[in-house]
Amino acid sequence: MAGLTGKDAVLTEYARKLETLDAPKGRSLTQDATRRMVRNKAAVVSVGVVLFIILFAFLGPYFLPWTYDKIDWSGIRKPPNFEAGHFAGTDQNGRDMLARIMQGTQMSLIVAMVATMVSVVIGVVYGAVAGYFGGRVDAVMMRFVDIMYALPYILFVIILVVIFGRNPVLLFVGIGCLEWLTMARIVRGQTLSIKEREFVEAARASGASSWAIIFRHIVPNLSGPVVIYATLTIPEIILTESFLSYLGLGVQEPQTSLGTLISFGAPVAETLPWMLIGPAVVLVSLLLCLTYIGDGLRDALDPKDR
Amino acid sequence: MFGYVSRRVLSAIPIALIAVTACFFILRLAPGGPFDGERALPPATLANLRAHYNLDLPLIQQYLLYVWRLLHGDFGPSMVYNDFTVAQMLWIGLPFTLMLGFTAFVIGTIVGLVAGALSAVNQNKWPDYVLVMLVMVGLVVPNFLMAAILQLVFGVYLNWFPAGGWQNGSLAHLVLPVTVLVLPHAGRTARLMRGSMIEVLGTNYIRTAKAKGLGQRLILARHAIKPALLPVVSYLGPGLSYLLTGSLIVEQVFALPGIGKYFISAALNRDYGLVLGTTILYMVIILAVNLLVDILYAWLDPKVRYH
């Protein structure tokens, strides 16, 4: 009677598959997250736009007839003119706006990358350690954060500029070193609640060391808030940098950043609108897309929100 | 609760002292001084000036003198604006900056909380989409760009509000600057509120409340709002300090008579007295707000009080 239900055929087939290692595969958490991310249209489009902006900023200058610091004496304060190769007009010094926008975008992207990395690493480690150990360690560490908070950071920034000179990369690391405070607080707050959970109890019971618990069990569970806050940190950092440039403390001429371009463009926006529109559009779309990517990552990494 | 509050208040005092000390020494260690100008002063004049402001004393003695005067409420003289003491200059500028900052803070927080909660309750329906879009605009457009756009659109083209300046308490002059400060603050608050509210609405005790037949409003008012406020409350302290630094830019762009303009030029000119005075006042405000936030946090989350 074998074969009446078709069971044998199915099982034989399955056994053969197992032998040839052709078994159905499980999906890892990362694959799950990737699938969810890909299904999120806004995030996918944003990734595309950000990639485009990156290419625009880093490869674009090679396709332009003008460089960001070259002065065209015959085209000062001119609107876009395709024949002369000024696709986005020129500024008051006769420099090509499109080339300057590309250079400024490069600067802002580098700021965003370096400073965010620095602030995330410091903030997560600091917050998780303070929250996990609690008690006196927590009190001392968080008091330090309070002190840092209580100092208006513009003072720090001015001193950093004085100490570091005008070296952009070091300055960006400096901005990152100042922007970790909120991340540390948020991470600590989350850690306080996570460390009371059963799986941490279980890890402790099975003899895991404190560091292993922090980095294997607590930090991965923080990825949601960390991603969300890192997304909020990127615009914050780009803003800090433009704030500095506005005060004349950031990137120095002839180099430029999106913030500097906007602060030069804003006062003359009525008569020379192309000086404001170009950098503003790039900056806003960059920040918008980074935010959408952050949201998409959050939804993908933190399924409990759906 | 009383013990917790008094402990926090007492612990704020050493923080203030440490911060004053740090500010004082960091500022002095940075190169340059208040009397560096385009033209070098004659050595005798410079020596007299330095002696007049006690800058020739050993650093530690200057520090003790400064703290001693500070404890008596004396911020010392401004070294660049010779005719004013620091206290006088702060008295001119600070009330305006504080008024601007706190107005924006209160409006922004309320707008943000309401928008975030509404958006979470209507998750994935049209009010949520509209609010999320608005929040995005607030978050993504930097304050100086927003200021320029608002000045251009409402100040120049539509001519609804003055594009800058300040005429003795006219509200119309405040509308644009306050809007510029409110948008990012409200945006961040709303984002945090929406996220935490959605999380809270998915918890088991909310399901229990629903299961036992409580109405939507009662669930929100009694069970959901309080825990959802936690992350938002911990953001309020830094939120205020962002607002205060943001007001530096806004005061410059809109030509408002706050402390911001003096502070920036004072820091660049190494006007030690003025920079320290401003820094200390900012610091006291931020410490006070953080203290309030901590107390609020303890009230919202009883677990915090005992740790």
Q: Is the model's pLDDT at B154 over the cut of 50?
A: yes
Chain B nearest-CA residue for A164: B30
Query: What pLDDT is recorded for position B110?
Result: 92
How far B142 CA sits from the closest chain A CA (Å)? 7
Run of H or E residues at A52? helix A41-59
Kindly give, in sequence order, each residue whose CB lies less than 8 Å from that of residue A82, ignoring residues fewer than 6 positions away.
none
Chain A nearest-CA residue for B136: A288
In a domain, A100, yes or no: yes
Token pair for residue B278? 């401003």
Query: What pLDDT is recorded for position A2?
Result: 54
Domain B86-300 has CATH 1.10.3720.10: yes
B residues 250-279 lying closer than 8 A (beta carbon) to A: 253, 263-264, 267-268, 275, 278-279
Count of alpha carbons within 13 Å of A250, Cβ hemisphere only?
27
Q: What's the average model confidence in pLDDT over A101-109?
A: 86
Query: What pLDDT is recorded for position A305?
Result: 47
Query: What pLDDT is recorded for position B111?
Result: 92
In a domain, A49, yes or no: yes
Contact between B156 and A270 using a beta-carbon 8 Å cutoff: yes
Q: CATH no. for residue A275?
A: 1.10.3720.10
B residues 54-113 lying closer than 8 A (beta carbon) to A: none
Q: Please tell me the total count of domains within chain A.
A: 1
Whether A222 and A190 have beta carbons less than 8 Å apart is answered as yes
Residues on chain B touching A230 (C-beta within 8 angstroms):
none
Most confident among A5-19, A147-161, B24-38 (mean pLDDT): A5-19
Tell me the whole-structure pTM to 2 decimals.
0.74
Kindly report, residue by residue over A69-80, the tens digit of the pLDDT: 777 777 666 677
Query: What pLDDT is recorded for position A85?
Result: 67
In a domain, A5, yes or no: no
Q: Is the model's pLDDT at B253 over the cut of 60?
A: yes
Chain A nearest-CA residue for B156: A270
DSSP string, A102-168: HHHHHHHHHHHHHHHHHHHHHHHHHHHHHHHH-HHHHHHHHHHHHHHHHS-HHHHHHHHHHHHTT-H
Query: What pLDDT is recorded for position B230?
Result: 81
Q: What's the average model confidence in pLDDT over B214-227?
A: 82
In a domain, A15, yes or no: no
Kindly report, residue by residue over A234-280, the tens digit of the pLDDT: 877 877 777 777 666 677 777 788 878 887 887 777 777 777 888 88
User: Is pLDDT larger for residue B215 or for residue B265?
Assistant: B215
Run of H or E residues at B190? helix B172-201
pLDDT confidence band for A126 (50 / 70 / 90): very high
- Domain span at A206: 44-301
In a domain, A25, yes or no: no
Query: What pLDDT is recorded for position B107?
Result: 92
CB neighbour burial string for B137-147, b if at least 16 within 10 angstroms, e if fewer: ebbbbbbbbbb
Q: State the complex-level ipTM.
A: 0.72
What are the extents of the domains in chain B? 86-300
Query: What pLDDT is recorded for position A159?
Result: 60
